[in-house]
Amino acid sequence: MKFKVLGSGAGIPSRTRNTQSFVLDVVEEINQYFLIDTSEALQHRILDTTIRPSKIRHVFITHLHGDHILGLPGFLSSRSHQGGEGIPLIVYGPPGLEEWIETTFRTSGTHLNYAIQFVEVGNGDVFDIEGFKVSVQLLDHAIDSFLYVFEEPDKPGALKSDKLREMGIKPGPIYKQIKSSKTFEHEGIIYNTCDYVSAPTAGRKVAVHGDTRVIRHKDYLDMLEGSDLIVHEATYLHGEQEKAHLYYHSEINDVLFNLSQISYGQLLFSHISNRYDAEMVRLVEEQLPSGIKLAHDFIEITIPRDSQ
């Protein structure tokens, strides 16, 4: 599992940062990509990667500000001609998203050659998507903005074949039968299968924020607890907590202090204001603890199993 940043900037693009768009790469797990937010020029960004639009079957929009959605009409249209013909797509997002796309397509005469479904999300929603549990939490922004938490299912433990061989059970179809049952019989004795299977490997958990102020509620922090990767905005990198709060955004040190109350694997800060030059970004990065990074366009984060 990998997390790829196609755009890491806030508000408007700069020479070095496009506005926000992410991809959760679960090709190894389910042969798909989850696309999260769709900044302007998304089509061009994808062309600079090995991502195949036909393998994007689910799109998640955090909120309806332009720097997070203006690339969606173009992406949907180009997907028709990039292997997506006949492959359905589901778009999850706040109320109003479907109406905006329908109006855009109607006025521009755009037609798709695949089925598209819009799912309106709300606070507390939970979806089962390709075996992943996807939870939705309302954030604190000028308009409705959401957190998406992606939880991979646990990976079943492996059969302890050495123990079975010691019992005199030779490899073969019987091993599959044993693993799929709660008990098995050998030479007249009933055994519990769980004693012959290793513990399952916990699924990974990735939490991706839309724009937000810092949230200090316990329920919110509990939702992030144990994440292997948290992606959070840091529009403000150098103080100015009051200004960040005034404009419904977050300041990096305030976020770090807030998240110090929970355990997590990696933390990636994105949505970086274009008023910070490369030298300021470098100075901030040098002060960050291990496992915490500032995003830049095309950065790729590997999310290993058991990263906690």
Residues catalogued as catalytic: 67
The answer to whether 184 touches 178, Cβ cutoff 8 Å, is: yes
Binding site for Zn(2+): residue ranges?
63, 65, 67-68, 141, 211, 271
Residues 230, 235, 240, 242, Cα dihedral to 10°:
-80
- To the nearest 10°, report the CA torsion of 94, 64, 61, 112: 90
User: Measured between alpha carbons, how far is 49 from 279 in angstroms, rounded to an integer?
Assistant: 27
Interatomic CA distance for residues 289 and 261, integer angstroms: 15
Around Cβ 134, how many Cβ atoms within 10 Å? 19
| Cβ neighbourhood burial of 176 (10 Å; 0-12, 13-18, 19+) | exposed
Give the C-alpha separation, 233 to 273, whole Å: 10
Residue ranges for the known binding site are 63, 65, 67-68, 141, 211, 271
For residue 265, CA distances in Å to 80, 149, 243 come to 37, 14, 29
Identify any residues that bridge with 292 across adjacent strands, giving them in sequence order: 267
Distance linking the first and last C-alpha atoms of the chain: 15
Please state the separation of Cα 54 from the chain's center in Å: 18
Question: In sequence order, what are the residues at sequence separation of 6 or more whose Cβ sits closer than 8 angstroms to the Cβ of residue 138?
Answer: 122, 123, 144, 145, 146, 147
